[in-house]
Amino acid sequence: MQKILSVLRKACEKYDLIEDGDKICVGLSGGKDSLTLLSALKAYQRFSPQKFEIVAVSVDLTDGKTDYSQLVSFCKNLDVELFVEKSNVFEVVFDIKKEKNPCSLCANMRRGLLNSKAKALGCNKVALGHHKDDFIETFIMSLFFEGRLSSFKPKSYLSRIDLHSIRPLIFCDEKDIERVSKTYPIVKNICPADKHTERENAKDFLENLESRYPGAKEKLFSALVHTERYNLLDKE
């Protein structure tokens, strides 16, 4: 956890992710990334120069059919209040819309419910568990499917709802998250599309690239976050 705290602090300082008086809503899916984020933020709260509050919100995609009792206990041990927001996202995506590529719609609906609940709780920021590997994978997906050089930002302002979205684990390697999350109460992902998504394909592509060119992922990340390393045609 010490290594994760170090890179979380680096991200917070570099991108001004946390400010005095913030009330931060952590999107707690029950996966390893969000559980690690919540644990790390709670630990960081103890020595952070900024004073801030933390709450957690889990969006139940199955309209009350998912068991969140272990997450409730996990949050209680951290002294963080957890709110479970019921929804029928799965029913809409798979039964009503019958989406062949469900990830985009599901993500948008989940994010909308999370942001609305955060706003209702008086939060001004929503923290998401995306890490370094997610950042690179999103870049690859944007490149191959949209023809754009793009990925998510460490900090974004959502003007429609007046919230900031932050990603404090942006410098964190997934392998470090896997290491510290072994004892966490992971909520099993029951999505029919789990492990059969374009993100999984991007992950496989990057793993193959890494095996052929060791250090390739780190160089990709470095190029993306250091703007002085861009060497592309300018608008002129």
Tens digit of pLDDT for each residue in 21-74? 999 999 999 999 999 999 999 999 999 999 999 999 999 888 778 888 999 999
- What confidence score (pLDDT) does residue 183 get? 93
User: Burial level of 24, CB count in 10 A (0-12/13-18/19+)?
Assistant: buried
User: What are the structure tokens assigned to 209, written together?
Assistant: 């690239």
The pLDDT, as a whole number, for residue 230 is 63
| CATH number 3.20.20.70 given to 2-228 | no
Place 160 in a pLDDT band, splitting at 50, 70 and 90. Answer: very high
User: Which pLDDT score, from 0 to 100, does residue 88 have?
Assistant: 81
Percent of the chain with pLDDT over 70: 92
What's the chain's average pLDDT? 90
Q: Check whether 228 has a pLDDT greater than 80.
A: no
Model-level pTM?
0.90
Q: Which pLDDT band, with edges at 50, 70 and 90, does 87 fall under?
A: confident
Going 199 to 200 to 203 to 204, the CA torsion angle's sign is negative
3-class DSSP assignment, residue 140: helix
| Burial of residue 42 (number of CB atoms within 10 Å: 0-12, 13-18, 19+) | middle
* 235 compared with 232, residue with greater pLDDT: 232
82 pLDDT higher than 80: yes
With cut-offs at 50, 70 and 90, classify the pLDDT of residue 233: low
Tell the burial category of 77 from Cβ atoms under 10 Å away from its Cβ (0-12, 13-18, 19+). exposed
